[in-house]
Structure 1
């Protein structure tokens, strides 16, 4: 599974929708969308400040995350940021791989 940190801020129209259906209504909507693509919601928190919503979501693949991101952004109700999350073991594996990189000017 591919894990993502989602940070989102509601637009004024999105906030009106949140006020109308409540946080539990939005959680149900998120779980339905994510579950429909074979994923799960690990955590979902509402916040205030720059972000109104923070989630940790598992998807079977990055394409599923991209599909959700495209549709959510197209709605105009939220601005979102998705950050791929890697385990300690995945970073250990990445560190062991040989990469033929040459820095500029070297």
Structure 2
């Protein structure tokens, strides 16, 4: 399973739907959507400012995460951004690798 940080903003009818249904119903919708692709919700928070919703979920693979993102964003009611999260051990492993790279102009 891969963990993803998600950030979402309600847009247009999504805002009206949130006001009509309330926050817990929208969280339930996220839990159901994640379960449909084999995922689970770790945490879900409402915020204000630049981001309306933030949280973390586990999902089996990138294709499932992409499918979920495409489906949610296609509604036009929510703008969803996903960021894969790495463990400390993932970063330790990355630090042992030496990719070949030449910076521009060198």
Q: Same fold (TM over 0.5)?
A: yes
Structure 2 residue 7 is the aligned partner of structure 1 residue 7 = yes
Aligned residue for 1:102, secondary structure, equals coil
- The runs of at least 4 aligned residues of structure 1 exceeding 3 Å deviation read none
Partner of 1:80: 80
Match of 2:66 in 1: 66
Is the partner of 1:51 in helix, strand or coil? Answer: coil
Aligned-partner Cα distance in 1 for 2:35–2:97: 33
Q: How does 1:22-37 map to 2 (within 5 A)?
A: 22-37=22-37
Where do residues 79-98 of structure 1 align in structure 2 (5 Å cutoff)? 79-98=79-98
**Cα distance, 1:19 vs. partner?**
1.2
1:72 CA drift (Å): 0.7
Unaligned segments of structure 2, at least 5 residues? none
What is the rounded CA distance, in whole Å, between the counterparts of 2:95 and 2:42 in structure 1?
27
Listed as ranges, the gaps of 5+ residues in structure 1 are none
Question: What's the secondary structure of 1:101's corresponding residue?
Answer: coil
* 1:50 counterpart SS class: coil
What do residues 42-89 of structure 1 show as CA deviations (whole Å, max 9, x unaligned)?
000011111110010110011111001101111000112111111110
CA RMSD, 1 decimal:
0.9
